A and B are shown apart, each in its own frame.
Chain A
Amino acid sequence: AQSVTQLGSHVSVSEGALVLLRCNYSSSVPPYLFWYVQYPNQGLQLLLKYTSAATLVKGINGFEAEFKKSETSFHLTKPSAHMSDAAEYFCAVSVPNTPLVFGKGTRLSVIA
């Protein structure tokens, strides 16, 4: 079975600072990995996904993530945080013919 661990339920950064949200996964077969963002009172929106092509994946809003098989990680980064990045972020793992398995989420706060 697959699983995802997101380190840190809450991360706070200053505006303009680096954003780093950590995600580690467990899977017995090569996984597909996703990051989703959820703004208050909204559904989840896909930020980016890894599907066994390039290990460095670029997504929307300046976010990117790097798949590191040796570390079983898929951390999400953004060089410079904006106030509009404040939201809940979910890492998820999938293998063929199974539903997504989500981490518990990391709430990102951006301080002016």
Chain B
Amino acid sequence: GAGVSQSPSNKVTEKGKDVELRCDPISGHTALYWYRQSLGQGLEFLIYFQGNSAPDKSGLPSDRFSAERTGGSVSTLTIQRTQQEDSAVYLCASSFSQAGSYEQYFGPGTRLTVT
């Protein structure tokens, strides 16, 4: 079946603009995760969803970041008033369950560049 898809693959935006990043998880996966990968910082957890609810928002770096998931499927990560330090690759992953033992399947990422 289809894997995790993300769009756009690349996004260049001007500082101060808002951006929306989309993730389409594997069908049937109830858990969905957002990570940020930047040079020198490794993989940084942002937020995860179990169904449509987000029990853990602790990783969001500021209140400019928000995410939602509707219908237990597609998720959107929104960054308002983008800053240059937001430039990174944003990775989405999904898994069958948030039971811990289930592996996460990753999408190809969205490369965000803030100029």
A residues sitting closer than 8 Å to B (CB atoms) are 32, 34, 36, 41-46, 49, 51-52, 90, 94-105
Give chain A residues whose Cβ lies under 8 Å from the Cβ of B107.
Answer: 43
A-B contact pairs, 11 of them (CB 8 A): A42-B108, A44-B104, A52-B101, A96-B99, A96-B100, A96-B101, A98-B100, A100-B104, A102-B42, A102-B43, A105-B43
B113 → A minimal CB distance (Å): 14
A36 and B106 CA atoms in complex are apart in Å by 10
A44 and B91 CA atoms in complex are apart in Å by 9
B100 → A minimal CB distance (Å): 4
B26 → A minimal CB distance (Å): 12
Residue of A95, A99, A103 near B45 (CB, 8 A) is A99
By Cβ-Cβ distance, the 3 closest A-B pairs, closest first, are: A43-B106, A104-B42, A96-B100
Q: For B109, give the chain A residue with the smallest CB separation.
A: A43
A94 and B104 CA atoms in complex are apart in Å by 11
A98 and B48 CA atoms in complex are apart in Å by 9
Question: Are A101 and B45 touching (Cβ within 8 A)?
Answer: yes
Give chain B residues whose Cβ lies under 8 Å from the Cβ of A90.
Answer: 42-43
A46 and B45 CA atoms in complex are apart in Å by 17
A34 and B93 CA atoms in complex are apart in Å by 14
Residue of B35, B91, B99, B103 near A46 (CB, 8 A) is B103
Interface centre among B45, B98, B100, B109 (most CB of A within 10 A): B100
A102 and B106 CA atoms in complex are apart in Å by 14
